Amino acid sequence: MTVDEALAIVETVLDDDEQLNDVQELIFRQCWEGRCSYEEISQLSQYNDEYIKALAAKLWKQLSEAFDEKVKKNNLRSVFKRYLRRHQVTLHRTQVIGVNLSGANLSGARLSFANLSESDSSADLQGAILSDYHTVSDRIIKAENAHNQGFLSSTKEGIYHWNDLRFRCKEEVKIAEALDRTSVLFFPNSKARLTTPAGRQNQEPDFLIFHQGKWGILEISHPDTEKDETRDRIFASHGIFTIHYCEAHRCSQEPDRVVEELLDILSQG
């Protein structure tokens, strides 16, 4: 099950006034993928880690009530597996292929989309539950279709996903697609631990690229981006001499040309 499929289920089981906000969705995504450090998540969201912890606590409480079991940041996947087993849903990557209501224990079922009166028959009950599951299925299929298209915006904080990689802007996705077409080895937004004048710090180049035995960095320049010459010198001291800055509008409009320029520089260096 992908994180988008899981979020489709969350959207279904939570009431309308309990839907996740953007930061909670970011927390869910990161924890689902095994990145459970609130400090790291805070760096992605631009909120401090105490705020992230508070939102996360509210999130786990909401999900615990919705799924009728204790939900924590490190047991998300197992909770969803048990939920699907309890409701006898056979989930495949692209579709729900079966719902067997015969002999099912429906005591814990959430009828989010059912409006049942006391006079409703068992057939009506079964139809309402089946409709509920079809809604889950439709949302999972839509999430999976978006995932298969390679590009999915996940939060308003500027986190984008493409082929299970994360990016901070659409221009980065364009460059990743262009790099992919060249079959070159690259690492997007890969954190490095370096010694700086201020001490040991994390640095995260937009793209770290290996081509013809040489390493290079591609940075996307936005209007508010300042060139960090001190950081560049530090990377150069570790053997990464090619650091190519390119304006965001070029990365968006002609990503293949931008990538070609950098690979040419690495080839000649």
The predicted-structure confidence for 113-122, as pLDDT tens digits, reads as follows 444 444 444 4
SS3 of 191, please? coil
User: Which pLDDT value is given to residue 228?
Assistant: 81
Secondary structure percentages of the chain, helix, strand, coil, to 5: 50, 20, 35
User: Which pLDDT value is given to residue 119?
Assistant: 42
> Could you identify the residue written with the tokens 């509008």?
249
**Count of beta carbons in the 10 Å neighbourhood of residue 110:** 16
Task: Please tell me the class of the 169-268 domain.
Answer: alpha beta
Asked if 4 contacts 152 with a C-beta cutoff of 8 angstroms, the reply is yes
With vertex at residue 72, the alpha carbon angle to CA 54 and CA 112, rounded to the nearest 5 degrees, is 90
User: Which pLDDT value is given to residue 135?
Assistant: 53
d(CA 171, CA 93): 28
The beta strand positions in 36-114, using DSSP E, are 89-91, 96-99
Query: What are residue 217's DSSP bridge partners?
Result: 208, 243
d(CA 215, CA 203): 16
Using left for φ > 0, alpha for ψ between -120 and 50, and beta otherwise, residue 94 falls in alpha
User: Which pLDDT value is given to residue 88?
Assistant: 54
Count, in order, helices (H) and strands (E) of the chain: 10, 11
Residue 48 binned pLDDT confidence (cut-offs 50, 70, 90): confident
Q: Domain residues of the chain, as ranges?
A: 3-148, 169-268
Q: Determine the average pLDDT of the residues in 254-258.
A: 95
User: Which pLDDT value is given to residue 49?
Assistant: 82
pLDDT in tens, 127-158: 544 455 555 555 554 554 544 444 444 444 45
N residues, the chain: 269
Asked if 259 contacts 175 with a C-beta cutoff of 8 angstroms, the reply is yes
Per-range mean pLDDT, top range of 1-5, 96-100, 180-184, 229-233: 180-184
- Higher confidence at residue 224 or residue 186? 186
Q: Determine the average pLDDT of the residues in 201-216.
A: 92
Q: Which two tokens stand for residue 60?
A: 């786990």
pTM of the model: 0.45
Q: Determine the average pLDDT of the residues in 75-92.
A: 72
User: Which pLDDT value is given to residue 87?
Assistant: 64
